[in-house]
A and B are shown apart, each in its own frame.
Chain A
């Protein structure tokens, strides 16, 4: 318990004795990074294939969004170490962007409205 407490106060790993302790300066086995790296390649190829094979409609959009979110999750979670951060930091950083969903929703309604207005007024 004491060791864990002091480990938290020392910012980065001092000496290799702490090398594998999770709390000290985000040390993780290098194989995790290699796996995520490979998976990012695979998912990028998948999303490229969506375009290459000219998929359309809900299937296309669903796959694009799915691959995008998986890749974003890997990058933020593993590469940026968010998965290992404390919950207070996770909440502080990851919840504010949810407000953007409101903006996106409002602008989608607005865009739709502008489109219909233009159709009604300018397109004959």
Chain B
């Protein structure tokens, strides 16, 4: 047994070997570890926002506006609750799926498919942000929701909503730019020359995280 095979021990012995040995702790590319640590810090930020939202919603004596009604869309004269949000959720999940496939094709060295799938992912991201822009417009112009008040009830509703979904939308927008840059580099053969497609997987981590955050926002803000 040399030190290299010791680094591949399974289970808790593997943890002590990985953390205690005089070498890099995580046997994955450094870019991936850094992305995970960034995402960990982002988890804390989003949780702070959601916890702040929980706190103001619990402590207000006003009635909290019913998200099911606020975010309803009228189709053929019927109010369908959360329709746009449901579509946005599906779009984001679809983009996560195309991203996972892109990572897979990247490791198979299939440049054309990786590029196509990543650009498709970015396009779904644009679609998501556009629908969010539509939702914000509707809320601000037609429902009169402001960060400091709204006609439906507790005034903290607007502040929480714009803060949380705005920060998430910013993440999606940054992700679209990030994915587009990586996709163009894939197309130009940059990662073939570099000899590794791990950048595609790291970009994928970021994108899946954006989807992950939306799962929590969807549950706590829209459904609760």
Q: Which of B47, B61, B101, B219 contacts A68, CB < 8 Å?
A: B219
Interface residues on B, range: 35 or more
In angstroms, Cα B71 to Cα A52, docked, is 12
Asked if B223 is at the interface of the complex by the 8 Å CB criterion, the answer is yes
Flag if B28 contacts A89 (CB, 8 Å).
yes
Flag if A28 contacts B8 (CB, 8 Å).
no
CB distance from B59 to the nearest CB of A (A): 4
Flag if B28 contacts A85 (CB, 8 Å).
yes
List A contacts of B26 (CB < 8 A).
86, 88-89, 92
* B-contact 0/1 string along A80-121, CB 8 Å cutoff: 110001111101110011001001100110111011001100
Asked if B97 is at the interface of the complex by the 8 Å CB criterion, the answer is yes
Flag if A47 contacts B218 (CB, 8 Å).
yes
List A contacts of B197 (CB < 8 A).
12, 25
Q: Which of B4, B96, B99, B223 contacts A8, CB < 8 Å?
A: B4
List B contacts of A122 (CB < 8 A).
61
Number of A-B contacts (CB under 8 A): 190
Flag if B68 contacts A51 (CB, 8 Å).
yes
In angstroms, Cα B155 to Cα A14, docked, is 57
List B contacts of A88 (CB < 8 A).
14-15, 18-19, 25-26
A interface majority secondary structure: helix
In angstroms, Cα B59 to Cα A92, docked, is 34
In angstroms, Cα B54 to Cα A8, docked, is 44
Flag if A8 contacts B8 (CB, 8 Å).
yes
In angstroms, Cα B224 to Cα A75, docked, is 21
Flag if B212 contacts A25 (CB, 8 Å).
no
In angstroms, Cα B201 to Cα A25, docked, is 9
Flag if B12 contacts A87 (CB, 8 Å).
yes
Given A25-B197, A25-B201, A89-B28, A100 and B5 contact (CB-CB distance below 8 Å): no
Binds A, one of B36-44, B124-132, B133-141: B36-44
- Residues of B participating in the A interface, judged by any CB pair closer than 8 Å: 2, 4-5, 7-8, 10-12, 14-15, 18-19, 25-29, 33, 36-37, 39-40, 43-44, 47-48, 51-52, 54-61, 68, 81-82, 86, 89-90, 93-94, 96-97, 99-101, 103-104, 107-109, 195-198, 201, 204-205, 208-209, 211-212, 215-216, 218-219, 222-224
- Residues of A participating in the B interface, judged by any CB pair closer than 8 Å: 1, 4-5, 8-9, 11-14, 16, 19, 23-28, 30, 33-34, 36-37, 40-41, 44, 47-48, 50-52, 54, 60-61, 64-65, 67-68, 71-72, 75-76, 78-81, 85-89, 91-93, 96-97, 100, 103-104, 107-108, 110-112, 114-115, 118-119, 122-123
- Of the A-B pairs whose beta carbons lie under 8 Å apart in the complex, a sample of 14, sorted by A's number, is A13-B107, A16-B109, A30-B104, A33-B101, A33-B104, A47-B218, A51-B81, A78-B100, A81-B201, A86-B27, A88-B14, A100-B44, A108-B55, A118-B60
